[in-house]
């Protein structure tokens, strides 16, 4: 085999390798998106009563119909919750849960967590923050959920901030840190921008 043939063979193998990695780059996001869609759809399918699930009556399944119907139901519940009657039933359910010894702790904690992520300020911005974690010089992105007013602040003797540090690629999981306010850097990033930044492992610009 001549030097020219060897060079051509290496060039061909190099192109094949580049095509392979290009295919991987294209397929991974598609595959993960399809997998997550199927996974989420399975969850919504289990949540949605069979009586109102069109796929129970059709000879074939319509992908994503459970997610769409569930979202519509959630929107209607949200619309109902801001009415006088809706607020009455919400307060009634709150009172019921708050009287059950074990459930009241879980219910109250989850309610406070969801409210902290739902609230926005005048600029429709969340309190996105940077803190030096896990060591000095390395920064982690977090959500400042509230100012700590409990025993932690009393023991430390300075203003402390409760910060939720999300994990990649699932920002709904993570852990809580209580950080001195002087060590917190507040960002102008929105909740949506921060979520995309975290889910993409930083590949989407913040």
Q: Could you read off the pLDDT of 178-187 as tens digits, one per residue?
A: 999 999 999 9
Residue 156 domain-assigned?
yes
Find out whether the peptide bond into 134 is cis, omega within 30 degrees of 0. yes
pLDDT, mean of residues 88-107? 79
pLDDT, mean of residues 128-156? 90
Residue 141 domain-assigned?
yes
Task: Give the predicted TM-score (pTM) of the model.
Answer: 0.53
- pLDDT of 71 higher than 90: no
Residues 133, 177 contacting (CB under 8 angstroms)? yes
Residue 140 domain-assigned?
yes
DSSP state, residue 184: -
The pLDDT, as a whole number, for residue 77 is 82
The pLDDT, as a whole number, for residue 122 is 46
Better-predicted residue by pLDDT, 133 or 18? 133
Tell me the range of 28-37, 98-107, 159-168, 193-202 where mean pLDDT is highest.
159-168
Residue 173 domain-assigned?
yes
Where in the sequence is the domain holding 152, given as residue range(s)? 128-199
Residue with tokens 């999981």: 173
Residue 89 domain-assigned?
no
The domain tally of the chain equals 1
């Amino acid at each position: 085999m001549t030097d020219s043939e060897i060079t051509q063979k290496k060039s061909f193998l190099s192109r094949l390798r580049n095509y392979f990695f290009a295919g991987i780059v294209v397929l991974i996001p598609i595959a993960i998106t399809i997998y997550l869609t199927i996974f989420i759809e399975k969850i919504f399918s289990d949540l949605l009563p069979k009586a109102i699930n069109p796929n129970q009556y059709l000879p074939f399944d319509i992908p994503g119909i459970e997610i769409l119907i569930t979202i519509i139901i959630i929107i209607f519940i949200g619309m109902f919750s801001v009415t006088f009657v809706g607020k009455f039933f919400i307060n009634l359910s709150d009172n019921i849960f708050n009287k059950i010894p074990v459930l009241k702790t879980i219910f109250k904690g989850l309610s406070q967590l969801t409210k902290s992520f739902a609230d926005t300020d005048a600029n429709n911005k969340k309190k996105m923050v940077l803190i030096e974690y896990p060591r000095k010089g390395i920064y982690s992105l977090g959500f400042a959920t509230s100012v700590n007013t409990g025993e932690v602040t009393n023991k430390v003797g300075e203003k402390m901030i409760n910060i939720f540090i999300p994990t990649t690629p699932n920002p709904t999981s993570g852990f809580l840190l209580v950080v001195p306010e002087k060590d917190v850097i507040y960002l102008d990033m929105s909740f949506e921008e921060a979520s995309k930044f975290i889910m993409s492992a930083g590949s989407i610009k913040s």
